[in-house]
Amino acid sequence: MSGKTNDRIRALNVPQRVKVELDAEGLPKTAGEITVEAVLETWRIDDEWWRQPISRRCFDGVLEGGRHVVLFEDLTTGEWWIQKP
Amino acid sequence: MARKSYLTSDSAACCWIPQFALRSETARRPELVSHPVALIAPDDTRRVWQLSSLARRAGVKPGMTVSQAIGVCPALKLCEPDPVHYDGEFSRLLAALSPVSPVIEPAELGRGFVGTDGLEGIYGTPEKIVEEIKCGVRNAECGIEAALRIGWGKGKFVSWVAASRAKPGQAIIVRPGEEGKFLASQPISVLPLDLDTHRRLRQLGLKTLGALAALPEEAVASQFGATGRRLWLLAAGRVSEPVVGRVAPEPIVAALAFFSPVAGRELLEMALDRLIERALKDPRRIGWRVQAVRACAGLEQGASWLAAVTLKEPTADRDRIAAPLKTQLERSPPAGAVERLVVEFTAFVPGTEELQLFARDATSAARAARRHALQGAAREIKLRVKRSFLYHIIEVQPWSRLPERRYALIDYEP
């Protein structure tokens, strides 16, 4: 009797890479090809310094058409990402 | 799938490698050998467990807190325990002995018995049987065979006492008829005693098995009860427990990899439930109840965690199987965040089907009907798209500041 069942937990709301243009104040102006109509809030996350350090500059934004998203810059790589709030 | 214990042997060879866990650790990390080393206790990460001779010489004692141990020996190298590795090494060692004898009985980590009845016809004298056993252990290539001590004699107790008196790499053979003489000179500490009984025996001036066996059996039994009678019988060499070989169970294994290391007990408990459910659904489990289960976790930075349970009442009920594992999870949690969790059913007894045939009441009957309908729908989806796309959404770390850590999908099979 031998059997092995492998299971996996899949993360939900995994961030997606996105190209972001910034305005003169350093706030996101476009995400991909879509205009960022409003930036509602900004904050910073620094976490898990003991493991794989996470350092993000986050923007709570509303895209053209009304979609509510979080845009963040990974401060360790300089890459931009988008995900649901 | 035979799971009965039916192979026994009156004559036994006890194979013992003291400090098995520490030796396994230093065998895979040879750079530790020249340092004082302490292995942290798997069930209490604040205390040290097994110690190298250099650490002992420096004054460190088993059971000391980590801070006390470092205070006594600042150069002490502390090692996180990796019980899964030690268990695997020990299983490998036992497996390497199976060509020597079909009767193998593990006793504890680093100690096992080999049944030797009938081996004289194959290998010859006890000395030659012992050589075969040593050869089998060498074949396991655990890197710690030099520490092996072997005791040969009638029954498990005599062979264990002989192994405990043997020097590393050597064997003591107690020939038939010499058991009483051999045991008489042994200290009472070789008996399976609790601390209180040991203290009382010492207070009575009893230091050797011979002194204990010289007392009338009834007098010992009246002082110490049934335990005393058993101790007297062992000391006098009047009982001989055979080695009982067990057909090695082929386990059912279910594993789960986390997308980020998990430290929260709630999620680990939920994952245990999920894995037990998975393993219970294995078609090879049907008709059998689970008797022994173990949960292993791979931790960050290479350490591991292990909980093994033998159920008093074998069962096929998820919650009953999970309960003792969860208790161990609470009492001695993993020393770090868990990257991978595995549940293994390692022993079974024949099941009873009548309990599963009828739902006990209308509510559970309705629930069973809904589940049946769901199973039918899930099967149909799987037939059409070749795999199941049904998932549960589960809370992982709903408080996390990282949105992708809050919820996750897990395969759903109704």
Q: Say if CB B299 and CB B84 are below 8 A apart.
A: no
- Tell me what pLDDT residue B2 has: 40
CA distance A77 to chain B (A): 17
Tens digit of each residue's pLDDT (9 = 90 or more) over B203-247: 888 889 999 999 999 888 888 888 889 889 999 888 888 998 866
A11:B408 CB<8 A: yes
Tens digit of each residue's pLDDT (9 = 90 or more) over A13-68: 999 999 999 988 889 999 988 999 989 989 999 888 877 889 999 999 999 888 99
The answer, yes or no, to whether residue B295 has pLDDT greater than 70, is: yes
The answer, yes or no, to whether residue B183 has pLDDT greater than 50, is: yes
**What angle in degrees, to the nearest 10, is found between the helix axes of B318-331 and B265-280?**
150
Strands B243-245 and B7-9, sheet pairing: antiparallel
Give the mean pLDDT of B135-155. 87
Q: Within an 8 Å CB–CB cutoff, is residue A8 touching chain B?
A: yes
B261:A51 CB<8 A: yes
Spans of all domains in chain A: 16-83
- Tell me what pLDDT residue B359 has: 38
Q: Within an 8 Å CB–CB cutoff, is residue A24 touching chain B?
A: no
- CA–CA gap between residue B108 and residue B85 (Å, rounded): 15
ipTM value of the model? 0.85
DSSP state of B251: -
Give the mean pLDDT of B139-146. 80
- Residues in chain B closer than 8 A to A45 (CB atoms): 401-402
- CA–CA gap between residue B151 and residue B170 (Å, rounded): 9
Q: Within an 8 Å CB–CB cutoff, is residue A49 touching chain B?
A: no
- Residues in chain A closer than 8 A to B396 (CB atoms): 9, 11
Identity of the residue in A2, A12, A84 whose CB atom sits nearest the CB atom of B409: A12
- Please give the model's pTM, rounded to 2 decimal places: 0.61
Q: For all residues of chain A together, what is the average pLDDT?
A: 86
Q: Which of A10, A12, A47, A68 to mutate to test the interface with B (most CBs of B within 10 A)?
A: A12
Confidence of residue B139 (pLDDT cuts 50, 70, 90): confident
- Tell me what pLDDT residue A28 has: 92
- Tell me what pLDDT residue B167 has: 93
Q: Which structure tokens are listed for A14?
A: 């995994």
Identity of the residue in A3, A4, A83 whose CB atom sits nearest the CB atom of B404: A83
CA distance B226 to chain A (A): 40
Confidence of residue B356 (pLDDT cuts 50, 70, 90): very low
Q: Which structure tokens are listed for B3?
A: 């799971």
Q: For all residues of chain B together, what is the average pLDDT?
A: 84
